[in-house]
């Protein structure tokens, strides 16, 4: 059976990661597993036991990282074959980090499953109520959007959570506001409306927005302006390497900005999850 695997390191965001993993596991109907990477097994097990206390049906594991932490996490992913990996992440702080990246980003780019990067800022997962789903033309877009709705509905809030479905497009009119821009915006808005009509959005407050500009960058800005708790988007199934950074892949732009917690969705159907 597949699972949601939360990887804990020596980070202050441990409880936020545990909360996010628990919410996603509940939303997707999967068991949650927790692995502590990088500490002595006895110490790591004790720490994990403290933060997962009271959670039913969770698996706890501790392992040492003989080399790089991201390599140890990727090995844990290969062994567990989870539907989703959950890790803590922080915004980039300086040019050195821009150059070498971070553990969470390296894992997210190389993981064969969905990856949830839990921001150290904003509300904890138990309080998430504003979600943004970036819709594109990829085959996994519908699965990503459906999972965004499931996670939104898993909070148990009395007030219906909000899910904003957004679609980016290249503005050929350079922001001049002419007829070309209006036609393009109308076409994108129509495609987005048709896409949302095909989803089960009962129980959530739906908003739609067509975003002209640079792919990846506009969605990140929108999520930040909306004070979103979680931004969801489809991610390439193939690992992303250094070239994606050099050529500014849209996903790299979102990772660079990290406006809030981020779900990089790599499509897995519910049937596969439960097999």
Listing DSSP states for 202-255 in one string gives TTSEEEEEEEESSTTHHHHHHHHHTT-SEEEEE--SSPP-HHHHHTT-HHHHHH
Q: What is the pLDDT of residue 204?
A: 96
User: CA-to-CA distance for 244 and 252, rounded, in angstroms?
Assistant: 7
Q: What is the pLDDT of residue 44?
A: 55
User: CA-to-CA distance for 166 and 188, rounded, in angstroms?
Assistant: 10
Q: By the 8 A CB rule, do 158 and 27 touch? A: no
Q: What is the pLDDT of residue 226?
A: 96
Give the residues of the chain that fall short of pLDDT 70. 1, 10-12, 38-67, 91-101, 172-178, 238-249, 268-275
Please, what sign has the CA dihedral across residues 231, 234, 240, 244? negative
Q: What is the pLDDT of residue 208?
A: 97
How many Cβ atoms sit within 10 Å of the Cβ of residue 179?
9
Q: What is the pLDDT of residue 132?
A: 98
| DSSP H or E stretch at residue 35 | strand 32-37
- Region at 57 (left for phi over 0; alpha for psi -120 to 50; beta for the rest): left
Q: What is the pLDDT of residue 243?
A: 41
User: CA-to-CA distance for 30 and 114, rounded, in angstroms?
Assistant: 14
Domain 4-273 class? alpha beta
Checking DSSP bridges between strand 130-134 and strand 59-63, what pairing results, if any?
unpaired
Q: In what order do the strands lie in the sheet with 205-212?
A: 59-63, 32-37, 4-8, 84-89, 114-119, 261-265, 230-234, 130-134, 162-169, 205-212
């Amino acid at each position: 059976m597949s699972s949601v695997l939360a990887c804990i390191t020596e980070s202050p965001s441990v409880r936020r990661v545990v909360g996010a993993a628990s919410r996603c596991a509940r939303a997707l109907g999967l068991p949650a597993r927790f692995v502590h990477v990088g500490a002595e097994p006895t110490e790591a097990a004790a720490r994990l036991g403290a933060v997962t206390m009271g959670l039913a049906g969770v698996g706890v594991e501790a392992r040492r990282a003989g080399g790089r932490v991201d390599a140890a996490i990727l090995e844990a992913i290969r062994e567990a074959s989870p539907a989703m990996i959950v890790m803590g992440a922080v915004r980039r702080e300086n040019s050195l980090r821009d150059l070498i990246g971070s553990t969470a980003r390296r894992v997210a780019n190389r993981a064969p499953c969905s990856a949830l990067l839990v921001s150290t800022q904003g509300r904890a997962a138990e309080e998430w109520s504003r979600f943004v789903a970036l819709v594109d033309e990829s085959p996994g877009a519908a699965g990503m959007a459906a999972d965004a709705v499931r996670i939104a509905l898993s909070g148990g809030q009395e007030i219906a959570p909000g899910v904003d479905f957004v679609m980016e497009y290249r503005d050929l009119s350079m922001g001049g506001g002419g007829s070309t821009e209006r036609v393009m915006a109308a076409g994108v808005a129509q495609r987005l409306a048709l896409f949302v009509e095909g989803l089960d959005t009962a129980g959530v407050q739906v908003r739609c927005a067509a975003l002209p500009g640079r792919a990846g960058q506009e969605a990140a800005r929108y999520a930040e302006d909306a004070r979103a708790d979680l931004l969801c988007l489809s991610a390439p199934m193939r690992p992303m390497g250094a070239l994606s950074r050099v050529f500014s892949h849209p996903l790299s732009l979102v990772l660079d900005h990290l406006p809030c917690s981020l779900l990089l969705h790599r499509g897995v159907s519910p049937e596969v999850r439960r097999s």
